[in-house]
Chain A
Amino acid sequence: AQKITQTQPGMFVQEKEAVTLDCTYDTSDQSYGLFWYKQPSSGEMIFLIYQGSYDEQNATEGRYSLNFQKARKSANLVISASQLGDSAMYFCAMREGHRDNDMRFGAGTRLTVKP
């Protein structure tokens, strides 16, 4: 069964606008962590943001914020003021508490920022 679902294979956004990339997850663990990674065309995986299941506040890192809705099991990434350099694949991932040693990734969303 899919643990991480990213329903948007591709998204477009105008430069300087905000964009939300969707991520839903499935777990029966009470303790888990949610991650977003950026993968530009060069291929490396760049960590963006982390949200713990017990964190009461939504995580923020600069222009990135995570809209964490625990009851709905969603962890959407919001990028504000999009820049051309934000064009990349974005992966949502989860590490479950009982499987503390691995991380499961979603299928990814390709974001294209238009000038």
Chain B
Amino acid sequence: EPEVTQTPSHQVTQMGQEVILRCVPISNHLYFYWYRQILGQKVEFLVSFYNNEISEKSEIFDDQFSVERPDGSNFTLKIRSTKLEDSAMYFCASRRWVEANEQFFGPGTRLTVL
């Protein structure tokens, strides 16, 4: 069964460093998402991406964040200068088309900023 994959599973970085979190959505899906979950808290929407551009973003997704689909398979989230409060689990998700109900989530990348 096709699934969303994410790498790395755990990333440790120093405050102020740039990180890139990688995701491979399900191959015939058209809509891509990033969410984050601070430890012990709820899942929060960051950004959605369709047709090679951001379609919606939350107030969390400020200028420090960017997303890219550099090729036909990868979908990346870049945090330009990490802060301590960026420490969280980051989930990638994909959806086949706008009428499809289910969003398939990846296993997540745990980001730890020291």
A108 x B42 contact (CB < 8 A): yes
Stretch at the interface among A19-27, A64-72, A75-83, A95-103: A95-103
B101 x A44 contact (CB < 8 A): no
B45 x A103 contact (CB < 8 A): yes
Q: Which of A35, A91, A102, A106 has the most CB of B within 10 A?
A: A102
A102 x B45 contact (CB < 8 A): yes
* Residue from B48, B105, B108 within 8 A of A101 (CB atoms): B48
Interface members, chain A 40-92 (any B CB < 8 Å): 43-47, 50, 52, 91
Question: Which size bracket describes the interface of A in this complex?
Answer: 20 to 34
Residues of A within 8 A of B108 (CB): 43-45
B56 x A101 contact (CB < 8 A): yes
In the bound assembly, the distance between CA atoms of A93 and B79 in angstroms comes to 26
A47 x B103 contact (CB < 8 A): yes
With an 8 Å Cβ cutoff, the count of chain B residues facing the other chain is 26
Is there a chain A Cβ closer than 8 Å to B75's Cβ?
no
Residues of B within 8 A of A99 (CB): 56
Residues of A within 8 A of B41 (CB): 107
Interface members, chain B 53-105 (any A CB < 8 Å): 55-56, 58, 89, 91, 93, 98, 101-105
In the bound assembly, the distance between CA atoms of A104 and B101 in angstroms comes to 14
In the bound assembly, the distance between CA atoms of A99 and B56 in angstroms comes to 8
B105 x A105 contact (CB < 8 A): no
B102 x A105 contact (CB < 8 A): no
A101 x B89 contact (CB < 8 A): no
> Which 9 residue pairs are nearest across A and B when measured between Cβ atoms?
A45-B105, A101-B48, A105-B43, A101-B56, A102-B45, A50-B101, A107-B42, A101-B55, A44-B107
Q: Which A residues have a C-beta under 8 Å from some C-beta of B?
A: 33, 35, 37, 43-47, 50, 52, 91, 93, 99-108
23 contacts between A and B (CB under 8 A): A35-B103, A43-B89, A43-B108, A44-B106, A45-B43, A45-B93, A45-B105, A46-B105, A47-B102, A50-B102, A99-B56, A101-B31, A101-B33, A101-B48, A101-B55, A101-B56, A102-B33, A103-B45, A105-B42, A105-B43, A105-B45, A107-B42, A108-B42
